[in-house]
Amino acid sequence: MRYSLILITLLFAALTSTASPDSDTIIIRSDGSSERISRDLDSLINTWYVNIAVKNKPVEYTGDTAVLQYPDSVYINRLSKVNSIIKLPYNNIIRNHIHVYTIRQRDKFSAVLGLMDYYFPMFEDVFDSYGLPAELKYLAIIESALNPNAVSRVGATGLWQFMYSTGRMYGLTINSVVDERRDPLRSTHAAARFIKDLYGIYNDWILVIAAYNCGPGNVNKAIRRSGNKKDYWEIFYNLPRETRGYIPQYIAAVYGVNYYMEHNLIPMPLNIPVAIDTIMINKDIHLAQISEVMGIPLGELRALNPQYRTGLIPGSSKPLALTLPMTHLGDFIDLNDTIRRYKPDVYLNKSTQIADPTRSSYLPADPKGKTKLIYTVQEGDNLGYISEWYRVGLSDLRYWNNINRNTIRLGQKLVVYVDPAKSEYYSKISSMTFAEKQKMAGKTVPANTNPIASNEPFETDGEYVIHTVRSGDTIWDIVKLYSNVTSGQILALNNISDPARIHIGQKLKIKKKS
């Protein structure tokens, strides 16, 4: 039975893996950074606990970052002192990744450090129950930056970045309402089973970590092409490019977690409750019902229960776990009947149980001392413009409306909180023209360049129009301004492989309407 399971795992994982090496590639640049690290750390900032903590985080170290770099001998000595049964070698690639965590992305890495107290004890407990080394917990840092809602460009999801087929193979429920790849506990059990099967194949932890990333099929091909050598560094150049960066990232994460103090890094103080408990739910209930009756912020409930994509816990189909802060568990039991009777026609209505990545059925509690206004998205709008018009932070606007990226849609209702003394002034914005709103924000609008009024671009150049990327723009926002093109055409024309990598001030060519 054991060998049958290993054989199935080997054959299946040769076709699927936790990430796709061809389409989700890590590019090791000369400066040592990687696109995947940056993307995952960026996504972490949008999570509920981190978003709140960012507003109140302590002053970061602002001195000369050169003093935070050490000679190679120091890094080698420190890695040798880490208690680990997994070998931790050192080279220039590993040094470059260490600098990503400790220098280039240090402010975001502090958020990862702040989450460790919540997730690492859970990981260690699960891995210990499977007889696995506890240091495998560092894998979650390079997989997802400890963000249970992380989704890669190819659909790998959760703390452990399971693809749909691999997650189903290891017993995770994945549908439009429940996605257990996002469940911290159940996904960790699935990752432990996958890792244990991989160790049964290779009996080498470095190769196990490599195979976790690209699948045993790719590792086996690299071994064959290297003359059956089974040392990671000897098969290095025969591995997919992503996996060549994966082990250095792992070692850099181990170093960063163990020696962050030596780099003047401070874990971000998060209010995520370490003392939690779960209770099994055997009837349908919505997180919004619990939030409104018990007074727990809905964002917090969603952060503790990320597997429920719409907020609905469909307990009537099978018993499901609800995670709550320990301090609220008794109150939930006492108020159970009251919670279930609260607005069931609103929150348990089948027509509202649709997973929509651009909106949510909840909003955070109104900020104290602020007036709530509603803005209806108009053609040509983007979040950058709207935040300027209302003079609010872009991150606040995203948080108030549960927007993880920058995507908004025509007609969408956005909540904006403003100073009560200026609420009458800001309430007029929805009825203004684009030019009037820009003028109010202190921006000049050249004649006949209003994309809403004339649909003309800002500049022309022969057969192309030139669009200058503005704050808050995404490729999809830009496409909406020019009805004759698709996002794929813009990306191809401007030689852009990753639509998330456009930047403010960038000039994009767009073919003129024929």
The closest alpha carbon to 355, from 162, 159, 182, belongs to 182
Q: Are 165 and 13 in contact (CB under 8 A)?
A: no
pLDDT at 481: 66
State the SS3 of 187-249. Answer: HHHHHHHHHHHHHHHHCCHHHHHHHHHHCHHHHHHHHHHCCCCCCCCCCHHHCCHHHHHHHHH
pLDDT (tens digit, 9 = 90+) per residue, 306-334?
999 989 999 988 899 999 998 898 999 99
- Joined together, the tokens standing for residue 349 give 């209505």
pLDDT at 471: 60
State the SS3 of 263-328. Answer: HCCCCCCCCCCCCEEEEEECCEEEHHHHHHHHCCCHHHHHHHCCCECCCEEECCCCCEEEEEEHHH
For residue 101, CA distances in Å to 53, 107, 216, 253, 263 come to: 19, 9, 28, 8, 10
pLDDT (tens digit, 9 = 90+) per residue, 352-361?
555 444 333 3
Tell me the mean pLDDT per 10 residues along the chain, length 514.
38 35 30 51 64 59 59 94 90 91 87 91 93 94 90 85 90 91 95 94 93 90 92 90 88 95 89 85 93 89 92 91 91 91 82 45 53 84 83 75 67 85 86 82 52 41 75 66 69 74 79 67
Say whether 67 sits in a helix, a strand or coil: helix
How many CB atoms neighbour CB 104 within 10 A? 18
How many CB atoms neighbour CB 446 within 10 A? 8
pLDDT at 428: 87
For residue 235, CA distances in Å to 157, 228, 244, 456, 473 come to: 28, 9, 10, 54, 42
pLDDT at 460: 54
Residue with tokens 């506990």: 185
Angstrom distance (rounded) from CA 513 to CA 464: 9
Q: How much is the pTM?
A: 0.62
pLDDT at 95: 93
Domains by residue range for the chain, with CATH: 2-57+68-263 (1.10.530.10), 276-352 (no CATH), 371-440 (3.10.350.10), 459-511 (3.10.350.10)
Any idea what the Cα angle at residue 105 is, between residues 102 and 110, rounded to 5°? 70
pLDDT (tens digit, 9 = 90+) per residue, 92-139?
989 999 998 998 888 889 889 999 989 999 999 999 999 999 999 999
pLDDT at 67: 54
pLDDT at 437: 84
Looking at the DSSP bridge assignments, the partners of residue 279 are 322
